[in-house]
Structure 1
């Protein structure tokens, strides 16, 4: 009988997992672990790539005596062969050849689904920088039931690359009496120099792709109006400055700060300009330089009508929501040292008319310089 026609024992496998976790607090797929994580799972594309929410089969926290709380996402399957799908290099295969999400793998395989949930949390929360992703699979054979699992550690410090923790036959490592040993194991997991370089190139390719998507939306009027080519550079640059903030001094602009007000001092364009002004001031630039930059950016944020709301939402609000989700994460925390500048200029070469642009390639400044 073909494997795909064999009855799934997923429910029994899930019960097996829950039995092992009975001494700790865990959450089922319909229970909320907390509002921040649930919102992150809701915002991310579903396992199948649609707009539905994500529902890990089991969720819990690893909690240590020093108040470290690591979310654990467990995905369960119940057929032989459904544990994990890796590429030829042995890495979790959650992307296709075009570096787009491979939703077929994410939906079918337990580990791939768990890693998908981990990425959703890391990409869409502020509080969590590490997640444990566990895939559990079970199937019946002539000699009895077989259980198998894959345990991976995913963190921002490791540039979102899933690192296998070890070989496990049950979930006892999540129990309080064993958690400190497990934490020591995951704290030994670091990327090699070659892994770091490959991942940074992948991230740089990704941010260039995302910038091109935003550029196309500006061209196609997806933001409610077509954005003039001559304004796009200033627009993205200004939104990035507003979205970065200055740690301890200026909070990053929140999408909810752009409420579509129409007052002279409170419209979305002025709100963004205030953040930009504070950002520039804290960078201790000469006053003359700050005034020059602000004058250029006012053309976009104050005098372009992008701040005028339509149905309660301005084009600035819509564009910034895209920039906040797709661009800002590459410029903060552990991802800040990728070559954003070089890739940005690659895209800018398409946005503006550069003399002899077809003849002159952009020279990428080495990453340690940028």
Structure 2
């Protein structure tokens, strides 16, 4: 084993740091800022021990407008500069959500520096921090090769180190006008690059799924709880465990600590009742309508109160409910706290759904639409702050969450100078402009929870049958919902592969747009009569063929975009786009933590499709008319010609004729030269 040369690396680095020209620098045993000292002391060391830890060197840099601490860590062995995950992100936490002190933070220079930078951001008001990793190794001649990598972390996402650059020395940190100007501009620029954030979201998806699968398996093996009850137990426990904080971070409803569950048999004081009391406070503080609060509590009560899970046997130290709650509190809540994922419980829904055959739909008939697809479809339907969006087969609520995020973002921009109107508009979006219908009670509960956790747009989530009894009204009054955007991934076992949902919804929507992702056999013969009826009052704008491995069932799907309220005419153009190569690489390994990889600018592919369909200037050239997209027409009386089919013109051209003659003459000449043509 080659000995570490960390001492030599430290001497080399310290010498350069002292010559950078910054007045406020500190080695490991010195103080650079009492606030940093205090927050590092209050957190575990990079080995995970008590008493905190200190970086090898700290430098405070400033350009006059902004001051940033830089934390520097040294290593002196081959391969010890940084540890990245499969998304090329710096590893701070392991798959369980706990900090990876043993194999990442303490072992690699960048990871250790990032850990200190993260803690400093969480405990001070610095807007950003730099994490600088330095490693050195000797080559066969005895010369030392030094490598430096720098990452920036910020208050918005302190656990996401964003790559700044690779360097051979510390000159990039010099206190000179030129270097400072370039460095601070680059710090600002890299944080605007969406690629790092997208990779983080993909990793968080995988991490949540891994933890949920482990939790689900454990509940199944140890408690033998049926899948539908499992979903309710996890959903109710999450409400009790996440609590409610205001915008300043102060607790309005504190989290229920597992230690509060004592296994009491006293009426009103059992573990299940304690959880429901906390759920009641959670729902009330989230300002849900009183009838919805009662509906949710009535639905959860049998699982938490009138259940054997609320009782411990003679040989048990705690109730099964506490065992499950402890698992959720210890494993899920840390993930919830740090991921910031837009569809957290959507992942829960997808994992739980793998265990259950959904009634009235068949196995796996209800599936989670990937977040990037729900966002893409909301953009296709031109969602904005004034949209009224509904989904008639809600599932976990992913479409409404994507729409809500776009709408709120639009309101932030349009009312940036009037915070009162901005607040009023956002409240109206959450309470009046979103509506979802879900038939299955356990999925309905999960959708409500999902909307609450991700922004509280849950007021109009309706537990009803879209096809037989729902009348297109708000949840708690008789007024019709004025929808102008329809988003849907229907259960494919329904009539016409689910196109019946589109027909029913469009009959109650008078204008706007609708986007549906569906098995594309719906557009080639499985829903012929329904499709013909739809086109009498609605125009097909685009047909997008999606990757065949988009859903784990490996079913070919397409997205159909409609303009509602305008009959489709025979000469209306339709965009037919082949998006099967979308920039993502997908694998289907059951034990893999991540099965989605952005290998070819996926974001750019989806953006270009939007630009084509919405008639905007393209910024990339992944799609060429006549190659992987074209404009064409459909027969409104056909109902089975809606899908992308690459058209190949077989009519010979003059160039084809010339090439054929040329090829023949070339062959004749070759035969003559070989002496094989007896005619000459």
Partner residue in 1 for 2:237: 239
Q: Which residue of 1 aligns with 2:56?
A: 58
Equivalent residue, structure 2, for 1:369:
400
| 8 A contact 2:135–2:148 mirrored in 1 | yes
Q: Does the CA contact (< 8 Å) of 1:8 and 1:79 recur in 2?
A: yes
Corresponding residue SS for 2:25: coil
Length-normalised TM-score, structure 1: 0.68
Matched, 1:349 2:353: yes
For residue 165 of structure 1, give the secondary structure of its aligned residue in structure 2: strand
> Paired residue for 1:319, among 321, 328, 348?
328
After superposition, what is the alpha-carbon deviation per residue over 1:67-104, rounded to whole angstroms, capped at 9, x for unaligned?
99977553321146543467999x45759xx9998x87
Provide structure 2 residue ranges, at least 5 long, that are not aligned to the other structure. 30-34, 376-398, 402-680
Q: Which residue is equivalent to 1:170? A: 170
1:275 matched to 2:275? no
TM-score by length of 2: 0.41
Aligned residues: 345
For residues 198-237 of structure 1, the aligned pairs below 5 Å read 198-221=199-222, 225=223, 227-237=225-235
| Distance in 1 of aligned mates of 2:84 and 2:329 | 35
Query: Deviation of residue 10 (structure 1)?
Result: 0.6
1:280-295 alignment to 2 at 5 Å? 280-295=283-298
RMSD (Å), alpha carbons? 5.0
Question: Closer, same or farther in 2 for the Cα pair 1:36/1:251, shift >3 Å?
Answer: farther
Residue deviations 1:343-366, cap 9 Å, x none? Answer: 232112134441354252515271
Aligned pairs for 1:181-196 within 5 A? 185-196=186-197
- Relative to 1, partners in 2 of residues 1:187 and 1:229: Cα closer, same or farther, differing over 3 Å? same
For 2:129 and 2:173, the matched residues in 1 are separated by 15
Higher RCO (C-alpha 8 Å, min separation 6): 1
List per-residue Cα deviations over 1:303-326 (Å, max 9, x = no partner).
446567865893223432222113
Alignment-derived partner of residue 365 in structure 2: 360
Structure whose alpha-carbon radius of gyration is higher: 2
* Structure-2 residue corresponding to 1:75: 73
Change (3 A) 1:219 1:66: farther
- Taking the aligned partners of 1:64 and 1:359, their CA distance within structure 2 comes to 55
SS in 2 for 1:369: helix
Q: Is the 1:62–1:179 Cα contact (8 Å) retained in structure 2?
A: no
Sort the Cα spacing of 1:198 and 1:70 in 2 relative to 1 into closer, same or farther, 3 A. same
Partners of 2:349 and 2:368 within 8 A in 1: no
Structure 1 runs not aligned, ≥5 long: none
Q: Aligned pair in 2 of structure 1 residues 137, 305: CA closer, same or farther (>3 Å)?
A: same
Matches of 1:64 and 1:312, distance apart in 2: 55
Q: Deviations over 1:125-169 (max 9, x none)?
A: 687886532211234576965543211113474695532324552
Q: 1:56 to 1:288 in 2, by over 3 A?
A: same
Partner Cα distance (2:144, 2:279) in 1: 61
Alpha-carbon distance change, 230 to 62 in structure 1, aligned in 2, over 3 angstroms? farther
